[in-house]
Structure 1
Amino acid sequence: MTLPARCVQFLKLHREHQRDRDTAGTAWRHSGHVFITVQGGPIDAINLNRTFTTFLRNGGLRLVRFHHLRHPTATLLLEQGAELVAIKELLAHAHTGVTATVYAHVRLRLQRDATDALSTTLDHDPTDDDPPLAGATVH
């Protein structure tokens, strides 16, 4: 899996700043993970969800499952014009049909936006001083 360079930089920085190995002493065990327990082991999914829920509550945010963070990522990728097959791979969906179904509302909104932009271009009054948004003059 690939990550944006900025994410990789932040993850490396986070790993470098882990101070838990100093406080864990002989209990420290290197797991190779970036996000770890105080003894260096991988974080249990239940504890991750509990901590995530606490962050949401403290921030006054709507409670969602950690897994739901995938949705805004896929939505942003679709809005930036990423191919459905690439998003399917990133989300580890079995088929593009799954991705297309889950994000159909985003695709419909993008289609409406494209249609509205086309409508604006076609509705341009040629007597206006402003040039059309797109296209060429037909003689």
Structure 2
Amino acid sequence: MHVSLNVVLAEDDKDYQEIFNNALTEVNIPTMLTVVSDGVELMNILKSPDTPTYNIVVLDINMPKKDGIECLKEIRQDRNLSSTFSVILTSSFDPLIKANAFDAGANLFLTKPENFDEYVEAVRKILTSDWQMNLPIFF
């Protein structure tokens, strides 16, 4: 039996979904990854009684139906989700967006790197940041 992190990635861009998954493989930390393409789908999964507890939620800011900041605010207002480690991973360099993300409750804000090696290091930072899992996930 192995302990595994349970991560959900909310990202509408298929290329970035693939890059994140490939970087996750390179990091080599046991992780179960769920990928969703919009904010409404993310919140439905997070609030579903059939869904396991996620240790980490990684959000893009610009998503259809509900953006990453809206999702983050909703996560922080839900007593069952409020302590979930939440990361904004975006292509934006705007300091106002970064401030808004932290105001909404982001634990970590990262700008999507330009090359794959830097992306691997960003994923490693997400998975090894100073946080505690709510519950270990076993498989």
TM-score range, shorter chain: under 0.3
More helix by share: 1
Q: Report the structure, 1 or 2, having the larger strand content.
A: 2
Larger relative contact order (CA 8 Å, sep ≥ 6): 2
Which one has a bigger Cα radius of gyration?
A: 1
So what's the TM-score if we normalise by structure 1? 0.21
